[in-house]
């Protein structure tokens, strides 16, 4: 056993000493190299030979590469890449009837590797998993047959040494804990020495936090405090880092550098590094390339097409940035939820360069005559070139590295040539997408003092201080994770640590002990609650003394702004008065003014419109338009109560067909809507039949309405003439929300119908909602006299009611005309819940405004 100083002294002799160090993972190799460099620097050396320290798997592969260029190269079996292995397994499983073939293929690869690593031989032994295991053995035989003359990573350690001419004089294993039999046999063929990391005699304590989020937040603040206190190597372990990576990155970024993500702030490396990379396809550059190819060879969901046309990675994206953003808003109203390339080309006239770019893509696709993976890789490159990918903007470092990784993914697709038959464009794209999804990628950044790690990467590392989070009794020790394709008994017998709860406990107990030796200060923590549920600490940390960690408070960027004492208070509740007379938006403007003056100001004066989301099925708005059109056509045919005693079916059917045609619905949805309208209309006419005689005077009629000197467009759903000369104003409502409260009190929620009544030249005898909800159909409103409509109310004073409406609607009109823009949601949270303006009005900075009814 070599001590670390002895190891470094030997490594300092340089390459001539022939020493190679292997580690159980990449991170340990990097850390040991950094430590050795520090050791050399501490001696005042200006330069030295780089030590030969690498991950064991990389060492095995390097031996194969060395053999390839040696005299044995011709006899050496070719090494399959992991993508080639995966592809072969997928081909074998294609006929298995399994649903998730790529996932099953990945498990097969894992089982294949484990059988070799742990020297598991033999077949299933009458277990629950026997069926899976038997199937796996059959697939393995096929895999073996197909890979004859080749080798994969699982078998490479067993064969590579037969071709190696020159071995290191001494091979040192560093920080190994579990060594599977295959690795043992491989290592035994070298002159071998062992080295283990130094142990710290540190102080460990255990603490808890109210939630997992607070726990990570505290760890981030603690790390920043230690960093500012002079610590150079700080570790934070997050066991479920893969699932929580984004949240953890956000918290650490915010704590380490408040305001890091403000627009215009120069991108600078943050002082922490997260060990786990992200899938390549989650990087915008690779995502844009994949979306462009999917669009080029088929169609794209609108959301992704929208992102693509606004992406900086297409031709002249910078020059047409504003134009493309405006185009996106327009396309949202014009296109469907799925967009084929030809349709998008036709819709991009407003953005000439984009159109040119998409036309070039369209043409390039016609020229792609690919069949094999290599041909597809070339074809995809041609299409991307035609789109001007990756744009004319200078890429930043992260984008530049992503581009390199993207080219590697294309090359990997090309290399599938060796193991694949022909592919369709869909298959080739699916393979490329999966390659990108499986490639975890982390752009290189300068060495960071704070390391955020998963459990396995933390093993063997040494720090000045270390915090291990998330150690609840449910999360630690990790549950057993046996591979379903190897009989459980064989996995247990082989001693695989993840095969059973006992061996997993054993391994995690050792890891916990290892953490306590990893730094001078070690904190173990757990969240005491998971939402509302109490959570207990892991039994593995119960022996560690409870204590409290001092958590320094670091202000958020927002607090820093508020606290800088240079605040200028500015009451901003009023905009400039409305200068014109005609108001766009119709009488909805006054409904918004009633709900919240700021909402009306932002929507109708600043045009802060909500973006449309194209959908495949008719949405609530379309169904509303459809219903109004249906009623219009129906009453054009029926004309009044006189027709209600006849057979109504033909009129209902014709009106439904005309409405569906007017709204341009087609296919199955058109059929369903026609049926729905006929059903709804039939039910509603039964209510109409209960009324005294009437004739429909107008339907869907546009009028101009003047309020407080402003002119609004209005559309009256329907007005019926009564035999005595009175008129009934009707407003269709599809929900059950037609309460009369909507017309009453200050700032009435629905001022439209009162406005129509006040401005009508006709003699109004009743105003009413027609509540068109299946099972709850009824009129709901006010009439001047009894008996005008079934179940409507008579106010004590009809004229008084009209006077109140006049006062309230004029107050709303006057407020809007004066530029009134108070952030004042009428029903608090209930008003804001469905409003899209929350980030603009910043109502959440005034929580007292949000206490309203839900």
- Where along the sequence are the contacts to ligand SF4 (CB under 6 A)? 595-596, 598-599, 823, 825, 831-832, 835, 837-838, 841, 843
Closest contact distance (angstroms) between CB of 825 and ligand SF4 is 4
Rounded to whole angstroms, the maximal C-alpha distance in the chain is 114
- Nearest CA among 378, 387, 361, 391 for reference residue 297: 361
- Nearest CA among 460, 469, 470 for reference residue 519: 460
Closest contact distance (angstroms) between CB of 769 and ligand SF4 is 23
Could you tell me where the beta strands, DSSP code E, fall in 238-280?
272-274, 278-279
Q: What does each C-alpha distance from 198 to 2, 5, 456 come to in angstroms?
A: 11, 10, 18
Q: What does each C-alpha distance from 264 to 250, 255, 259 come to in angstroms?
A: 18, 19, 11
Closest contact distance (angstroms) between CB of 585 and ligand SF4 is 15
Three-state helix/strand/coil letters over 483-513: CCCCCHHHHHHHCCCCCCHHHHHHHHHHHHH
Smaller CB distance to ligand SF4: residue 304 or 599? 599
Smaller CB distance to ligand SF4: residue 765 or 821? 821
Closest contact distance (angstroms) between CB of 840 and ligand SF4 is 7
Q: Which residues contact 672 (CB under 8 A, 6 or more apart)?
A: none
Closest contact distance (angstroms) between CB of 573 and ligand SF4 is 12
Burial 673-684 (b: 16+ CB within 10 A, else e): bbebbbebbeeb
Task: Transcribe 59-96 into DSSP letters.
Answer: HHHHHHHHHHTSTTGGGSPEEPPHHHHHHHHHHHHGGG
> Residue 709: which region, alpha, beta or left (left: phi > 0; alpha: psi -120 to 50)?
left
Closest contact distance (angstroms) between CB of 728 and ligand SF4 is 33
Closest contact distance (angstroms) between CB of 832 and ligand SF4 is 3
Q: Report strand pairing: 19-23 vs 170-174.
A: parallel
CB 23 within 8 A of CB 460: yes
CA–CA distance, 808 with 825 (Å, rounded to integer): 17
Closest contact distance (angstroms) between CB of 705 and ligand SF4 is 24
Closest contact distance (angstroms) between CB of 600 and ligand SF4 is 9
Smaller CB distance to ligand SF4: residue 532 or 845? 845
Smaller CB distance to ligand SF4: residue 391 or 828? 828
DSSP 793: B
Smaller CB distance to ligand SF4: residue 480 or 841? 841
Smaller CB distance to ligand SF4: residue 672 or 830? 830
Burial 284-322 (b: 16+ CB within 10 A, else e): ebbbbbbbbbbbbbebbbbebbbbbbbbbbbbbbeebee
- Residue 214, Cβ density class (10 Å: 0-12 exposed, 13-18 middle, ≥19 buried): middle
Closest contact distance (angstroms) between CB of 750 and ligand SF4 is 16
Smaller CB distance to ligand SF4: residue 595 or 656? 595
Smaller CB distance to ligand SF4: residue 511 or 591? 591
Strand partners for 764: 727
Closest contact distance (angstroms) between CB of 591 and ligand SF4 is 12
Smaller CB distance to ligand SF4: residue 537 or 815? 815
Closest contact distance (angstroms) between CB of 572 and ligand SF4 is 13
Closest contact distance (angstroms) between CB of 366 and ligand SF4 is 49
With H, G, I as helix, E, B as strand and everything else as coil, classify residue 852: coil
Smaller CB distance to ligand SF4: residue 271 or 852? 852
325: number of Cβ within 10 Å: 12
Tokens of 451: 């390391």
Phi, psi of 189 (to 5 degrees): -90, 15
With H, G, I as helix, E, B as strand and everything else as coil, classify residue 101: helix
Smaller CB distance to ligand SF4: residue 309 or 837? 837
CA–CA distance, 201 with 818 (Å, rounded to integer): 73
Smaller CB distance to ligand SF4: residue 151 or 830? 830
> Residue 284: which region, alpha, beta or left (left: phi > 0; alpha: psi -120 to 50)?
alpha
Smaller CB distance to ligand SF4: residue 387 or 841? 841
């Amino acid at each position: 056993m070599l001590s670390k100083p002895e190891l470094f002294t030997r490594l300092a002799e340089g390459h001539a000493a022939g020493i190679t160090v292997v580690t159980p993972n990449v991170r340990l190799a990097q850390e040991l190299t950094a430590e050795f460099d520090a050791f050399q620097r501490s001696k005042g050396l200006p330069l030295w030979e780089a030590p030969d320290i690498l991950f064991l798997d990389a060492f095995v592969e390097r031996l194969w590469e060395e053999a390839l260029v040696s005299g044995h190269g011709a006899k050496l079996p070719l090494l399959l890449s992991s993508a080639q292995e995966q592809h072969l397994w997928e081909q074998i499983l294609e006929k298995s009837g399994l649903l998730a073939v790529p996932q099953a293929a990945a498990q097969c690869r894992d089982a294949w590797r484990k059988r070799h690593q742990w020297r598991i031989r033999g077949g299933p032994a009458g277990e629950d998993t026997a069926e899976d295991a038997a199937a796996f053995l059959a697939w393995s035989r096929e895999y073996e047959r197909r890979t004859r003359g080749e080798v994969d990573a699982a078998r490479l350690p067993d064969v590579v040494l037969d071709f190696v001419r020159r071995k290191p004089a001494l091979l040192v294993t560093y920080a190994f804990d579990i060594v599977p039999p295959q690795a043992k046999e491989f290592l035994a063929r070298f002159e071998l020495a062992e080295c283990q990391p130094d142990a710290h005699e540190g102080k460990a304590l255990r603490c808890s936090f109210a939630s997992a989020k607070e726990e990570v937040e505290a760890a981030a603040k603690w790390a920043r405090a230690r960093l500012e206190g002079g610590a150079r190597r700080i570790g934070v372990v997050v066991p479920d880092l893969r699932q929580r990576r984004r949240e953890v990155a956000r918290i650490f970024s915010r704590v380490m550098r408040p305001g890091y993500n403000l627009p215009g702030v120069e991108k600078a490396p943050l002082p922490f590094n997260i060990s786990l990379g992200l899938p390549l396809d989650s990087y915008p550059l690779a995502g844009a390339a994949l979306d462009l190819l999917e669009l080029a060879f088929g169609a794209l969901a609108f959301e992704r097409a929208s992102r693509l046309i606004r992406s900086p990675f297409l031709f002249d994206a910078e020059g047409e940035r504003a134009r493309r953003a405006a185009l996106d808003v327009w396309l949202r109203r014009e296109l469907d939820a799925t967009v084929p390339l030809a349709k998008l080309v036709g819709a991009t006239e407003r953005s000439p360069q984009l159109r040119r770019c998409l036309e070039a893509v369209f043409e390039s696709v016609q020229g792609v005559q690919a069949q094999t993976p290599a041909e597809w890789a070339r074809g995809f490159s041609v299409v991307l070139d035609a789109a001007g990918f990756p744009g004319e903007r200078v890429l930043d470092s992260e984008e530049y590295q992503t581009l390199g990784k993207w080219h590697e993914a294309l090359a990997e697709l090309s290399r599938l040539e060796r193991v694949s038959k022909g592919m369709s464009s869909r298959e080739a794209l699916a393979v490329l997408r999966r390659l990108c999804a499986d490639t975890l990628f982390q752009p290189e950044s300068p060495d960071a003092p704070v390391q955020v790690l998963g459990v396995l990467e933390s093993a063997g590392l040494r720090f000045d201080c270390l915090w291990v989070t998330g150690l609840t009794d449910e999360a630690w020790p990790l549950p057993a994770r046996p591979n379903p394709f190897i009989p459980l008994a064989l996995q247990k017998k082989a001693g695989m640590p993840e095969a059973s709860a006992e061996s997993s406990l054993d391994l995690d107990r050792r890891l916990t002990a290892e953490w306590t030796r990893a730094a001078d200060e070690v904190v173990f923590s757990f969240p005491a609650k998971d939402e509302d549920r109490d959570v207990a600490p892991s039994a593995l940390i119960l022996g560690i003394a409870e204590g409290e960690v001092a958590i320094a408070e670091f202000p958020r960027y927002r607090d820093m702004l508020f606290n800088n004492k240079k605040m200028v208070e500015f009451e901003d509740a009023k905009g400039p008065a409305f200068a014109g007379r005609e108001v766009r938006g119709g009488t909805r403007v006054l409904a918004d003014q009633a709900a919240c003056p700021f909402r009306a100001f932002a929507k109708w004066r600043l045009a802060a419109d909500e973006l449309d989301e194209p959908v495949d099925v008719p949405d609530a708005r379309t169904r509303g338009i459809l219903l109004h059109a249906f009623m219009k056509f129906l009453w054009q045919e029926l004309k009044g109560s006189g027709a209600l005693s006849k057979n109504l079916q033909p009129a209902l059917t014709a009106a439904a067909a005309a409405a569906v045609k007017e709204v341009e619905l087609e296919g199955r949805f058109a059929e369903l809507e026609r049926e729905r309208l006929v059903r709804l209309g039939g039910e509603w006419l039964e209510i109409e039949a209960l009324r005294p005689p009437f004739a429909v005077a107008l339907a869907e009629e546009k009028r101009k309405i003047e309020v407080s000197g402003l002119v609004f467009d209005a559309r009256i759903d329907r007005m019926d003439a009564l035999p005595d000369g009175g008129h009934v104003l009707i407003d269709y409502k599809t929900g059950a929300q037609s309460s009369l409260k909507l017309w009453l009190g200050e700032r009435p929620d629905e001022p439209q119908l009162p406005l129509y009544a006040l401005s009508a030249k006709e003699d109004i005898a009743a105003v009413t909602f027609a509540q068109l909800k299946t099972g709850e159909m009824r009129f709901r409103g006010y009439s001047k006299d009894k008996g005008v409509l079934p179940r409507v109310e008579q106010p004590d004073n009809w004229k008084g009611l009209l006077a109140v409406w006049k006062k309230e609607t004029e107050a709303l009109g006057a407020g809007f005309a004066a530029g009134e823009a108070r952030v004042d949601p009428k029903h608090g949270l209930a008003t804001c819940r469905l409003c899209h303006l929350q980030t603009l009005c910043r109502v959440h900075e005034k929580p007292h405004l949000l206490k309203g009814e839900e």
